[in-house]
Every structure is written in C-alpha cells, then in structure tokens.
Amino acid sequence: MKLLYFAWLKTRTGVAEEDVTPPPEVATVAELLAWLQTRGPGYAEALADLSALRVAVNQEYAVPSDPVGPSDEVALFPPVTGG
Amino acid sequence: MIRVQREDFDVGAEIAALSAGNHAVGGVAVFIGLVRDMADEEAIGAMTLEHYPGMTEAMLERIEAEATDRWPLKATLIIHRFGRLEPGERIVLVATASAHRQAAFEACEFLVDWLKTKAPFWKLEEKSSGAEWVTAKASDDKAAARWGTPDSAPQDSTTDSDAAE
C-alpha cells in the first residue's frame, strides 16, 4: 500500500511517501488510521486528532468505513486551503 | 479547461482566448486570487502552495464539469498555481463564458467556492514567527455548502475548522 502525506501531516510524520504492509486485519480507512497511530511518536502526534484529517483513497475523498487494500494509494492531509 | 502550473499566466491573453472565435459568448466573468501581505494581522513574506498532483487535476476537472452541468456555459477556465509566491502574485484564475451574465457570474462564484473546499492545495505562510500552515475556514465551507450537496468530496465543517474561524 502506498501512503502519501501532505502539508503538516508530512512535517509531523517526517515522510512524504512510503510503502507499507499493514496487518491483514486492516481493511478500512478507520482501521488503517488506527494502525498508523501505533507506528511511532511522529505518527501518533500527526494522527492524534482524526477530525483534523482528510483521507483520499486512489485520489478520491474517502470516509472511515471505506475499504483499503494492498494495491491502493492512500493520501492523508489536512482540510484543503487553496484558491 | 483546467491547468495546474508553477508559472504565472497572462490574464488578458487567457480571457481573450476563452471567447476567441465563439460569438455565442455574451459575457465572461473572471475571478483572480492574489497573495495578500497580511494574515491574521501578521505580515506574510511569501507563501508556498503544495498540492496533490493527479488528484488536483481530477478534482478541478470534476468541479468544472459540475459547473457546466448546472449553468449554460460556453467555456470555462481554471488556472491554479503552486510553489512559492510572494504578496501581489496571482494564485488562481477562474473564468466562465456564457451567453448572458447571470450564468457567468454564478458559475464563476460556484467554481471558486468549490475549488477552495475540494481541490487538494495547502498554503504554507512565511511569517516573522516562522512558517505556518493555513487552517481551513468554516466560512469557506459555508460558502461552498450554499450551492447544494456535493456529489463528491466531503470537506465537512468539523469542530476544528469551526474553532479556527
């Protein structure tokens, strides 16, 4: 699974992009976020407030119950501020 | 048409090209977004716009298609820049061409409202106190919400963005 981080998610996790292999029981966005929180202090801090987070799966906005799988591209970012 | 680019754009040339040769166009509405030199009463030296290549283009195309579905538009153009921009520089151009002004005005405003809440861009402001990511505004969510339920992209008004307002 390819993970992308943008804006302060990138700063706090310290990575822009990484390939990960979550445990097989991780099947949804919510489960993925819960697993990511356990990966170290940077992740725990970056993912402390899930309401401040937006997730896209394969470049489409996703909700916590959406499925995720090994071939997916999952992006984590704060609410957008363009324009 | 949508474009995501680092370079500046020529406003006059872009607007002229939008209606060139299309005499069914009776009016063109334009919004140009600029970098301000102040944010929350603090001076801004510059800002850097980050985006999500691929998703950005897909979202802008979808937003443009939504506007074309809702209003009788003859042409539309969205140009959004990324990278480091200084105060006074152009960030975004949104232009809509229609037979009559009302559709052009409304569609232009709609495009800006939806773009601000759905297109994956993030602003990092350079202040004297350091670099700071801009927080999403609840007022932007409200502006986008008045156009009706989006068929995609829930950037809902959460408690954190309300608090940031």
Domain boundaries, position B42: 2-148
CATH top-level class of A2-77? alpha beta
The one-letter code for the residue type at B93 is: L
Residue B112 lies in a domain: yes
Distance (Å, rounded) from C-alpha A9 to C-alpha A11? 6
B99 touches chain A (CB under 8 A): no
B115, B133, B158 member nearest A83 (Cβ)? B115
Question: Is the CB of residue A80 less than 8 Å away from at least one CB of chain B?
Answer: yes
Q: Tell me, what CATH number does B111's domain have? A: 3.90.1170.40
Please provide the average confidence, as pLDDT, over all residues in chain B: 91
Domain boundaries, chain A: 2-77
Structural domains in chain B (count): 1
Residue corresponding to tokens 């949104």:
B94
Neighbours of B101 (CB within 10 A): 12
**Domain assignment present for B161:** no
Q: Please state, in angstroms and rounded to a whole number, the distance separating the CA atoms of residues A70 and A82.
A: 30
Residue with tokens 């195309």: B61
State the Cα–Cα distance between residues B32 and B94, nearest whole angstrom.
7
Among the partner residues B54, B159, B160, nearest to A59 by beta-carbon distance: B54
pLDDT digits (tens, 9 = 90+) for A11-65: 999 999 999 999 999 999 999 999 999 999 999 999 999 999 999 999 999 999 9
Q: Is residue B154 part of a domain?
A: no
Residue B162: partners with Cβ closer than 8 Å, 6 or more residues away: B138
Strand-pairing partners, residue A19, are A2
Asked if residue B105 belongs to a domain, the reply is yes
Return residues 9-48 of A near B (CB < 8 Å). Answer: none
Give pLDDT tens digits for B57-81: 999 999 999 999 999 999 999 999 9
